[in-house]
Amino acid sequence: MSAERVTTVVVGAGHAGLAASRFLTGRSIDHVVLERGEVANSWRRERWDSLRLLTPNWLNRLPGLPYTGPDPDGYLTSGEVVSLVEHFAAVNRAPVRTGTELTSLSRTDDGYHLVTGAGEIHARSVVLASGACNVPVTPAFAAAVPSPVRQLTPFTYRNPGQVPAGGVLVVGASATGVQIAAELQRSGRQVILSTGEHVRLPRLHRDRDVLWWMDASGVWDQRYDEVDDLTRARRLPSPQLVGGPKRETLDLNALTELGVELVGRWAAVRQESALFSGGLRNVCALADLKMNRLLTGFNQWAGITSPAEEIAPTRVPARTRLKLDLSSGEIGTIIWATGFRPDYRWLGVPVLDEKGRLRHEGGVVADSPGLYALGLPLLRRRRSTFLNGIEDDARFVVDHLAGRLPGGSEPAGRQ
């Protein structure tokens, strides 16, 4: 059977892939969107029950689809995100093929050959929009954890009811880690939070959502080629924020008030004991410094000279434990909130670096003409990670893609 021929294949039917589809349709470029599961599959299958978006509803705009609901300052639940993305697919009549898993992608003389569970496709160009959070990352020493201790990731954790009796060690203090730690502590578990580098932010600054300031002041508009250390910036953990009707701040101080115990970064396992870094005070001081510097910048941008309400420094205990016996029964469950990575097992094109990251220049994949990426952190701007950041990224990528087709011209200037 000969391969189906199409101009462009988009891999992934989340908001990024669907945004690409919208702009491809606008350019009259024939294409298909391949989705291994259902539209918004990761939001359906790989999120815990209580998760809400970090961005307020008014910020959750997609191309041609601004927020028009009754609660602009609320935060969408996972189910509401699924409904939003489904609606986005429907209004744009995106040519999505659900339940179509991509098993290999390779180069040909004039494009790309894709093998799926439903057949083979030849495309002149491909947009990789399968996401940045396909596989949870856990350290190699996780294999040395004693077998009676249950290990979960944010993909397998759903709610406190599935966590067996006993203490819980949450590893990682990004948005994921602090939210899960708080939920478990409130459920009656004793939680220990292993904390490394993190980004501290208040939920509100001068009575406005802190992400309003990020948006309005232009911080989110900084381009990838204006960032001093792009690799580091793309790997920064998500800020310690939680969405909810109380618009509360969920930082390490809030967690210790709940009774969560703080320890340093988990460095190793030795003789069935977890060994923690002694640098907790330093990483907290650095997070406080960066937060205050950012808030001061917001005030300067707004021309505000009056002092704001002072934010207390992170309260770090005078002594934190450096060792935890994992065989003692104190800890029954470990939750690894240690980040995620894309899954490119099917990618048969040499475009990954030594750490498995896609080499690209603002979404244009290096050394492989016609291959593009969307939905990755700081793809083109700092806002790229959020729903409201996909429009500019997708427009540029599709413009560039269209420019490579016969009779096309690549976009000029900076976008």
**What digits encode the pLDDT tens for the residues 117-153?**
999 999 999 999 998 888 999 999 999 999 999 999 9
pLDDT at position 409 over 80: no
Q: What is the mean pLDDT of residues 44-51?
A: 94
Q: Sign of torsion, CA 384 55 33 25?
A: negative
C-alpha 78/C-alpha 101 separation (Å) is: 23
Q: What is the mean pLDDT of residues 300-311?
A: 88
- pLDDT for 250 equals 97
- pLDDT for 50 equals 96
- pLDDT for 2 equals 83
pLDDT tens profile 16-30: 999 999 999 999 999
Name all domains of the chain by residue range, CATH numbers in brackets.
Answer: 4-134+342-403 (3.50.50.60), 136-336 (3.50.50.60)
pLDDT tens profile 147-195: 999 999 999 999 999 998 899 999 999 999 999 999 999 999 999 999 9
E-assigned strand segments in 35-110: 96-97, 102-108
**pTM for this structure?**
0.94
pLDDT bucket at 58, cuts 50 / 70 / 90 = very high
pLDDT at position 407 over 90: no
- pLDDT for 75 equals 97
Question: Alpha helix (H) ranges present in 71-148?
Answer: 78-91
pLDDT at position 413 over 70: no
Please answer whether residues 411 and 398 qualify as being in contact, where contact means their C-beta atoms are separated by less than 8 angstroms.
no
Please answer whether residues 294 and 236 qualify as being in contact, where contact means their C-beta atoms are separated by less than 8 angstroms.
no
pLDDT bucket at 342, cuts 50 / 70 / 90 = very high
* DSSP state string for 299-315: HHHHT--SPPPPPPPP-
C-alpha 28/C-alpha 7 separation (Å) is: 10
- pLDDT for 165 equals 87
Q: What percent of the chain has pLDDT over 90?
A: 92
Tokens representing 212?
Answer: 């309003």
- pLDDT for 308 equals 74
Tokens representing 92?
Answer: 């744009």
Please answer whether residues 93 and 104 qualify as being in contact, where contact means their C-beta atoms are separated by less than 8 angstroms.
no
135-136 and 340-341 strand pairing? antiparallel
C-alpha 187/C-alpha 199 separation (Å) is: 25
Q: What is the mean pLDDT of residues 32-36?
A: 97
Q: What is the mean pLDDT of residues 324-353?
A: 96
Dihedral of the alpha carbons of 179, 185, 191, 192, in degrees to the nearest 10: 50
Taking the alpha carbons at both ends of the chain, their separation in whole angstroms is 42
C-alpha 151/C-alpha 157 separation (Å) is: 9
pLDDT bucket at 410, cuts 50 / 70 / 90 = low
Closest CA to 268 of 121, 145, 412: 145
Q: What is the mean pLDDT of residues 263-287?
A: 97
What is the amino acid identity at position 4? Answer: E
pLDDT bucket at 406, cuts 50 / 70 / 90 = confident
204-205 and 208-209 strand pairing? antiparallel
- pLDDT for 307 equals 81
Long-range contacts of 292-297 (CB under 8 A, 24+ apart): 294/201, 294/219, 295/202, 295/205, 297/217, 297/219
Beta partners for residue 65, in sequence order:
62
C-alpha 369/C-alpha 122 separation (Å) is: 15
pLDDT at position 415 over 70: no
Residue 345 CB contacts under 8 Å (≥ 6 apart), including other chains: none
What is the amino acid identity at position 180? Answer: I
Indicate the SS3 state at residue 154. Answer: coil
Q: What is the mean pLDDT of residues 331-360?
A: 95
Question: For the ranges 76-85, 304-313, 314-323, 368-377, which has the lowest average pLDDT?
Answer: 304-313
Q: What percent of the chain has pLDDT over 70?
A: 98
